[in-house]
Amino acid sequence: MAAPKIAPSMLSSDFSNLASEAERMLNCGADWLHMDIMDGHFVPNLTIGAPVIESLRKHTKAYLDCHLMVTNPLDYVEPLGKAGASGFTFHVEASKENWQELVQRIKSKGMRPGVSLKPRTPIEEVYPLVDCENPVELVLVMTVEPGFGGQKFMPEMMDKVRILRKKYPSLDIEVDGGLGPSTIDMAASAGANCIVAGSSVFGSPEPAQAISLMRKSVEEAQQKAANVDNRHP
> Is 39 annotated in the active site?
no
- Ranges within 61-120 binding ligand DX5 (CB under 6 A): 67
Verify binding: residue 5, Zn ion, rule CB under 5 A. Answer: no
Q: Which of 8, 20, 14, 18 is nearest to 214 (CA)?
A: 8
Stretch that binds ligand DX5, among 91-99, 127-135, 158-166, 190-198 (CB under 6 A): 190-198
The Cα 124–Cα 110 span in angstroms is 27
Strand order in the sheet with 87-91: 5-8, 194-197, 172-176, 138-142, 112-117, 87-91, 63-69, 32-38
Which backbone phi and psi does 8 adopt, to 5 degrees? -60, 135
Among 31, 39, 65, 176, the one annotated catalytic: 176
Verify binding: residue 197, ligand DX5, rule CB under 6 A. Answer: yes
Nearer to Zn ion, 9 or 189 (CB): 9
Q: Binding mask 14-43 vs ligand DX5 (x if CB under 6 A, - otherwise)? A: --------------------x-x-------
Stretch that binds ligand DX5, among 84-92, 122-130, 197-205, 222-230 (CB under 6 A): 197-205
Determine the 3-state secondary structure of 4 from DSSP. Answer: coil
The Cα 19–Cα 67 span in angstroms is 18
Interacting residue with ligand DX5 among 179, 188, 192, 211 (CB under 6 A): 179
Q: Tell me, by CB under 6 A, how many residues bind ligand DX5.
A: 22
The Cα 141–Cα 138 span in angstroms is 10
Q: How far is the CB of 143 from ligand DX5 (least distance, A)?
A: 8
Amino acid letter, 16: S
Nearer to Zn ion, 40 or 169 (CB): 40
Q: How far is the CB of 34 from Zn ion (least distance, A)?
A: 6
- CA distances to 2, 222, 226 from 229, rounded to whole Å, are 15, 11, 5
Residue 37: how many other CB atoms lie within 10 Å = 25
Among 31, 36, 39, 172, the one annotated catalytic: 36
Verify binding: residue 91, Zn ion, rule CB under 5 A. Answer: no
> Is 75 annotated in the active site?
no
Catalytic residues: 36, 176
